[in-house]
């Protein structure tokens, strides 16, 4: 079977169209993944900040208790 130039051009155009569609689909998928990763990172950072706040509060409470004990001991 002999390929005619018109058929080859049509096949090339079809492949280029398919390639462009796949590129756009890939870009959309990558944008979604980046968004999901950013959201996950932001949630993780929020949890971490919450844990740090809890730890700071606990340390401050312990410091107050220890200072009260020290003052009671010194008095």
The model's pLDDT over 4-40, given as tens digits with 9 standing for 90+, comes to: 888 889 999 999 999 999 999 999 999 999 999 999 9
Flag whether the pTM goes above 0.75.
no
For residue 74, pLDDT over 80 is answered with no
User: What pLDDT does residue 71 have?
Assistant: 87
Cα–Cα distances in angstroms (integers) from residue 69 to residues 15, 35, 49, in the given order: 80, 51, 30
Q: What does the angle CA 69 – CA 74 – CA 75 come to, to the nearest 5 degrees?
A: 100
């Amino acid at each position: 079977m002999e390929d005619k130039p018109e058929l080859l051009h049509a096949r090339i155009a079809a492949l280029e169209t398919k390639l462009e569609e796949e590129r756009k689909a890939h870009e959309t998928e990558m944008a979604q993944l980046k968004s999901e990763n950013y959201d996950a990172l932001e949630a993780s950072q929020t949890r971490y900040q919450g844990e740090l706040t809890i730890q700071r509060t606990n340390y401050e409470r312990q410091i107050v208790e220890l200072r009260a004990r020290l003052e009671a001991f010194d008095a």
